[in-house]
């Protein structure tokens, strides 16, 4: 019997030898991929957290109409926004204990050095109603609600832009201490505004005289 030819392997019967994989290298690649993915997730979480807490801070930060703002925040938004009084030019940070901040019903705001200059602004803006009036505390210089603050009027200390001093305090006790030391009497916001307008004419005469004297001194110096 003739010898049968050797069986020719078919494509299906061939076993393709696969190259050995570098297990260590693949593990390194996988590890790097996982680390990169974790890093991206961390960045995403941090980004979301930043947006969240920024929004929370905007929602829960103390408004200007709170009774009193922290002492360390005295040099704050209202002084940065309006560093000097638009009517007399006085430095509002220097006169932080008498400064006024007013917000009107149309959204406009103004910062002045004193209740005197605030009264001038309210008089010339007759068609705008103030919805928020803030004043600096005499002792701490922190802004507080002018309408609920305890005021004093008169006394032996000179006022700001007025001959009859008008100061605001966060508590009645603080106002009483001032009156006991410096004279004057306890008052409230309505009485202070009425007194401010009543004093306006004499105060303007006093201010004009002082300014004239200051200009005269500057002229002599030069």
pLDDT (tens digit per residue) in 168-208: 999 999 999 999 999 999 999 999 999 999 999 999 999 99
136 touches 71 (CB < 8 A): no
Report the pLDDT value the prediction gives residue 196, as an integer from 0 to 100: 98
150 touches 169 (CB < 8 A): yes
Report the pLDDT value the prediction gives residue 45, as an integer from 0 to 100: 61
Question: How many other CB atoms are found less than 10 A from the CB of residue 196?
Answer: 24
> Does the structure show a pLDDT above 50 at 60?
no
How does pLDDT run across 114-153, given as a tens digit for each residue? 999 999 999 999 999 999 999 999 999 999 999 999 999 9
Least confident of 38-42, 69-73, 102-106: 69-73
172 touches 186 (CB < 8 A): yes
Give the span between the Cα atoms of 168 and 166, in whole angstroms: 7
Q: Does a structural domain hold residue 93?
A: yes
> Does the structure show a pLDDT above 80 at 64?
no
Report the pLDDT value the prediction gives residue 181, as an integer from 0 to 100: 97
Q: Does a structural domain hold residue 204?
A: yes
> Does the structure show a pLDDT above 60 at 91?
yes
> Does the structure show a pLDDT above 60 at 105?
yes
Structure-block tokens of residue 219: 């002229």
Q: Does a structural domain hold residue 199?
A: yes
Range of the domain at 170: 71-210
Q: Does a structural domain hold residue 30?
A: no
Q: Does a structural domain hold residue 55?
A: no
Q: Does a structural domain hold residue 14?
A: no
> Does the structure show a pLDDT above 80 at 41?
no
Question: How many other CB atoms are found less than 10 A from the CB of residue 133?
Answer: 19
Least confident of 29-38, 149-158, 178-187: 29-38
Give the span between the Cα atoms of 171 and 188, in whole angstroms: 12
Q: Does a structural domain hold residue 220?
A: no
Q: Does a structural domain hold residue 146?
A: yes
Backbone region of residue 143 per phi and psi (left: phi > 0; alpha: psi in -120 to 50; beta: other values)? beta
Least confident of 64-73, 165-174, 204-213: 64-73
Count of domains for the chain = 1
């Amino acid at each position: 019997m003739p010898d049968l030819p050797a069986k020719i392997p078919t494509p299906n019967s061939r076993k393709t030898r696969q190259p050995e994989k570098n297990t260590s290298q693949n593990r390194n690649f996988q590890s790097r991929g996982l680390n990169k993915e974790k890093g991206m997730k961390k960045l995403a979480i941090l980004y979301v957290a930043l947006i969240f807490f920024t929004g929370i801070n905007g929602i829960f930060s103390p408004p200007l109409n709170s009774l009193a703002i922290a002492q360390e925040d005295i040099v704050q938004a209202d002084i940065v926004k309006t560093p000097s009084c638009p009517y007399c030019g006085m430095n509002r940070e220097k006169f932080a204990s008498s400064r006024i901040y007013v917000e009107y019903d149309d959204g406009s705001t103004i910062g002045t050095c004193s209740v005197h200059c605030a009264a001038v602004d309210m008089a010339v803006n007759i068609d705008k109603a103030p919805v928020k009036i803030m004043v600096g505390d005499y002792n701490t210089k922190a802004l507080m609600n002018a309408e609920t603050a305890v005021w004093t009027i008169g006394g032996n200390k000179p006022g700001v832009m007025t001959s009859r001093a008008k100061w605001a305090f966060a508590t009645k006790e603080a106002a009483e201490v001032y009156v006991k030391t410096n004279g004057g009497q306890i008052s409230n916001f309505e009485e202070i505004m009425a007194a401010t307008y009543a004093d306006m004419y004499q105060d303007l005469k006093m201010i004009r005289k002082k300014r004239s004297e200051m200009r005269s001194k500057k002229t002599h110096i030069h």
